[in-house]
Amino acid sequence: MANQGNLSINSENIFPVIKKWLYSDHDIFFRELISNGTDAITKLKKLDMMGEYSIPEENELKIVVSVNDKDKTLRFVDNGLGMTAEEVEEYICQIAFSGAEAFIEQYKDKTNDDQIIGHFGLGFYSAFMVADRVEINSLSYKEGAKPVHWDCDGGTTYEMEEGTKDTVGTEIVLYLNEDSLEFCNEYRAKEVIEKYCSFMPIPIFLKNETAEPQYETIPEEEVTEKDTVVENIVEPEETEEKENEDGTKETVVKKPEQHKAKILKRPVALNDIHPLWTKHPNDCTEEEYKEFYTKVFHDFKEPLFWIHLNMDYPFNLKGILYFPKFNNEYDTIEGTIKLYNNQVFVADNIKEVIPEFLMLLKGVIDCPDLPLNVSRSALQNDGFVKKISDYITKRVADKLSGMCKTEKESYEKYWDDINPFIKFGCLKDEKFCEKMKDYILFKNIDGKYLTLPECLEENKEKHENTIFYVTDEIQQSQYIRMFREEGTDAVVLKHNIDQPFISHLEQKNEGVKFLRIDADLTETFKEEVSEDDKKALEEDAKTLTELFRKALNNEKLELKLEKLKDEQVSAMVTLSEESRRMQDMMKMYGMAGMDPSMFGTNLTLVLNANHKLVQYVLAHKDQQDDENVTMICQQLYDLAVISHEQLNPEAMTKFIQRSNQIMELLTGQM
Ligand code: ADP
Ligand code: MG
């Protein structure tokens, strides 16, 4: 006799809410129903282990999802422990439902930003997001249990009666609503299952009830009990006439008689029930790590190295973090950290659990202890979650520092790839910074890797507490050459993260100053000059300033005249470190169009008094209107600027025109 009941006292408004709830995540019911199935199977296995039930030998524990686009149904079938009528009444009608109710009560006033992580907790009733009607057919493992059939049309009442299911387990049938028909498409279903269930611990199979059956032919001896044989095939013996050496003929067997079987194509599970992170690190090979990486992240570049997290105390956490290879410094670094809860996918990049800088990596983290049915803001304030996040940070820092200590060569080899990540981590996380500070490397212009103390020590005599750096090895090559010739060192810092990072280092290390290689010319590059010479240089500088200002039509031009040791250098520009940082900041905030001189960020032109062209200009100071003098001034200035920054389009056009003009003059064509 059918048993009717009310789902709950004030539930009229619950189904519409469930249906609309989190529109973008409608596919999540797949995960909920499949994980209920895996739970049921896991429980049955436990009962079997405890001797309270004996799973029949031939029973392959599995979940089968069947799609039927004609009937517009989806079926989730498990051979887990099943439910009796009383259990359906209790777990589905009362508990599950009250869970749904509590959920709505809690979240009805919240904005979408504060969704529960992964929506755990609503479970069974998520089926009503896509279905107008849901059926349960279940047979409990309990001795003498009667099958139960439950039917609910999404209103507030349900019907329950004795069913017909004759094998232990549960079948959930969803009659999809018109808006959700996509889910009975085989490929869509496969996509969703792979998204959420790729690593669930029980094999999951997908069946398309309306597709033509597919067959395969295998040798008869390979047929097992699980196969459905549709035809036995005997391939007759093949023979061949062969002529012997003595001319007689003989019949030989080319291929013996073969017995084959045509069977229904064997189903293949969609998931990997033993994902690599669940294994002990000692049991995993390098190949396996790489294969897993490619499979999960679809990244065909090999990862540099990885960290296998494996911890059961004081909390349970397993996972693998990969350091990806970046192609070049322009590659945007974008990682993904996938979070799992007992092999069930929750979401990507949950920043409440995973420190922000770690999201530059690619990895999986499985933490069964996470309280995922709470809101994100609650997670954020959860001390336990903070501990998890601290643990992950610490393990990453330990791995990196350990590598620097014991495998210096590999560490150096990876440095160019991993340094933006480490620097970002130092900026973002005080503890990480503390642990990593002695393992920050600086690559110098000769390609050698030094630590900060080593850099400072090396340059103690020439420029104490100052580190010169290069941001663009090509553009700044003129300065680099001068540095090399003087035996002065500089380090290469060319990533975007380096500017904020050196400011950070300067704050942390009092007195230490980073100067870009073109920020200033230190005394090392200048000849020593007598007092008289100095006076003469100052006089000449005044003259040249006037000349250059006129030639360049720039009344604000700052000019210095120095006797540089390097006679090949005619002119250079310098821009003080502070001014340049200010300029970079303006660029970053989109104020590039503003006049830099407003902030006193003008370039200084440094002329080399030892250079012939500079001497030429000086010697012709009285012929101010001489076209050659003007042209030389302009050309010297542009050449100096090019080593420092890109010419603007207008200046570049003029520079090219003028260069051509100079060559024409050289060849006497003008
Ligand atoms: P939760 O899984 O978090 O307990 P659900 O709403 O998903 O919440 O399920 C409620 C309860 O219904 C489960 O705890 C379980 O007892 C029962 N249940 C649901 N699906 C199945 C199933 N396939 N087999 C056996 N029991 C089930
Ligand atoms: Mg559940």
Label residue 487 by pLDDT band (50, 70, 90). confident
Q: Which atom of ligand 1 is nearest to the CA of 123?
A: 7
* CB 608 within 8 Å of CB 614: yes
> Which among 14, 32, 39 is the best mutation to test ligand 1's pocket, defined by most ligand atoms within 8 Å of the CB?
39
- pLDDT: is 394 or 21 the higher one? 394
Which residue has the least CA distance to atom 11 on ligand 1?
Answer: 91
User: Is the pLDDT assigned to residue 264 strictly greater than 60?
Assistant: yes
Ligand 1 centroid to Cα of residue 181, in Å, is 25
Q: What pTM value is reported for the model?
A: 0.80
Q: CA 628 to CA 620: how far, in whole Å?
A: 10
CA 36 to ligand 2 centroid distance, Å: 5
| pLDDT for res 118 | 52
Give 177-193 pLDDT, tens digit per residue. 999 999 999 999 999 99
Contacts of residue 585, Cβ cutoff 8 Å, sequence gap at least 6: none
In single-letter form, the type of residue at position 145 comes to: A
Determine the atom of ligand 1 nearest the C-alpha atom of 37: 23
In angstroms and rounded to an integer, the radius of gyration of the C-alpha atoms of the chain is: 38
Which ligand gives the minimal distance to the CA of 80? 1
Closest among 333, 354, 304, 648 to 496, alpha carbons compared: 333
pLDDT (tens digit, 9 = 90+) per residue, 319-373?
A: 999 999 875 555 566 789 999 999 999 888 888 888 888 888 999 999 988 877 6
CA of 93 to the centre of ligand 1 (A): 11
Q: Can you tell me which atom of ligand 1 is nearest the CA of 96?
A: 6
Residue nearest to atom 16 of ligand 1 (CA): 91
Q: Which ligand is nearest to the CA of 103?
A: 1
| Band of pLDDT at residue 9, cut at 50, 70 and 90 | very low
Query: Quick one: DSSP state of residue 247?
Result: S
Confidence of residue 16 (pLDDT cuts 50, 70, 90): low
Enumerate the H helices of 437-559 as residue ranges.
Answer: 452-458, 477-485, 498-508, 531-552
Encode pLDDT of 594-606 as tens digits: 655 555 557 899 9
Assign 591 a pLDDT band (cuts: 50, 70, 90).
low
Which tokens is 622 given? 């009285």
Give the pLDDT score at 12. Answer: 56
Task: Using DSSP bridges, classify how beta strands 558-562 and 604-608 pair: parallel, antiparallel or unpaired.
Answer: parallel
DSSP helix/strand/coil, 330: coil
Q: Which residue has the tokens 């890797």?
A: 449
The pLDDT of residue 120 is 58
- Please state, in angstroms and rounded to a whole number, the distance separating the CA atoms of residues 451 and 449: 7
In the block, residue with structure tokens 């975007």: 496
pLDDT tens-digit series, residues 427-480: 999 999 999 999 999 999 999 999 999 999 887 877 788 999 999 999 899 889
Confidence check: pLDDT of 24 > 80: no
Identify the residue whose C-alpha is closest to ligand 1 atom 13. Answer: 91
Identify which of 7, 119, 124 to mutate to test ligand 1's pocket (most ligand atoms within 8 A of the CB): 124
Question: What are 208-261's pLDDT values in tens digits?
Answer: 999 999 999 999 999 998 899 999 999 998 988 888 888 888 888 888 999 999
Atom of ligand 1 at shortest range from CA of 99? 6
Looking up tokens 């010419």 gives 647
Residues with CB under 6 A from ligand 1: 32, 36-37, 40, 78, 80-81, 83, 91-92, 95-96, 99, 123-124, 170
Question: Which alpha helices (DSSP H) does 553-626 contain, by range?
Answer: 577-588, 612-619
96: DSSP letter: I
- Ligand 1 atom with the smallest distance to the CA of 32 is 7
Q: Which domains does the chain have, with CATH numbers?
A: 11-208 (3.30.565.10), 215-264 (no CATH), 277-406 (3.30.230.80), 441-517 (3.40.50.11260), 525-666 (1.20.120.790)
Confidence of residue 576 (pLDDT cuts 50, 70, 90): confident
Tell me, what's the pLDDT at 295? 92
Rounded Cα gap, residues 667 and 670, in angstroms:
8
Mean pLDDT of 562-572: 89
For residue 101, pLDDT beyond 70: no
Q: In this model, does residue 555 exceed pLDDT 50?
A: yes
Instruction: Give the residue, by CA position, lying nearest to ligand 1 atom 23.
Output: 37
Task: Please give the pLDDT value at position 23.
Answer: 46
Ligand nearest to the CA of 124: 1
Higher pLDDT, 201 or 103: 201
Q: What is the pLDDT of residue 192?
A: 95
